Chain A
């Protein structure tokens, strides 16, 4: 079966660091995406991990452990505009991409 889990909601303070976790069980694995989606808008690509380890891009970092079926997205120096849903998605076989339910992040002053 295919299953991707993320926390439904998280709240964090402006300027802080937040970690959004994702666990997956899929029938194949060819990489893991993180997307940001503001309400009513399209997903925006943040990161793609194929190999284990941490990848850093400015204020955003993404970590992958394939053996544990686990990833996280780390957001530093939170800004109000970071309030959005964060979507974890796994590329299983070939070009099939399975999305998790998303984590709604609220950044408060």
Chain B
């Protein structure tokens, strides 16, 4: 069964450093998302992406964040200058964009730790 994959599974970085989190959505899906979940807290929407542009973003998704679909398969989230409070699990998700548009398939997540 097709699945969303994410790399790396864990990332440790120093405050102020840039990180890039990578995702490979399911191949025929058209809508892509990033979420984060701080330990013990709820899942928070960051951004949605469709047709090579951002369709929605939350208040969390400020100028330090950016997303890109550099080729036909990868979807990346970049954090330019990490802060301690960016430590969280980051989930990528994708959905087909047809009658099943509503079904979002989540990747396993990248656990980011900022020291």
A21 and B108 alpha carbons, distance in the complex (Å): 27
Secondary structure type dominating chain B contacts = strand
Residues from chain B with Cβ under 8 Å of A91 in the complex: 102
Chain A residues near B31: list those with CB within 8 A.
Answer: 95
Q: From B44-52, B63-71, B80-88, give the one contacting chain A.
A: B44-52
Check: B33 CB closer than 8 A to any chain A CB. Answer: yes
In-complex Cβ contact of A89 among B43, B48, B50, B109 (8 A): B43
> Is residue B55 contacting chain A, with contact meaning CB distance below 8 A?
yes
A83 to B: closest C-beta gap in Å: 17
Q: Is B42's CB under 8 angstroms from A97's CB?
A: no
**Is A70 close to B, CB under 8 A?**
no
Total interface residues in chain A, CB < 8 Å: 23
Known: A33-B102, A93-B56. A101 touches B42 (CB 8 A): yes
* B residues in contact with A93, CB < 8 Å: 56
Chain B residues near A (Cβ < 8 Å): 31, 33, 35, 41-45, 48, 50, 55-56, 58, 91, 102-109
- Which 3 residue pairs spanning A and B have beta carbons closest together? A95-B48, A42-B106, A48-B102
- 12 of the cross-chain contacts (CB-CB < 8 Å) are A42-B91, A42-B108, A45-B103, A45-B106, A50-B102, A89-B43, A91-B102, A94-B55, A95-B56, A98-B45, A101-B41, A101-B42
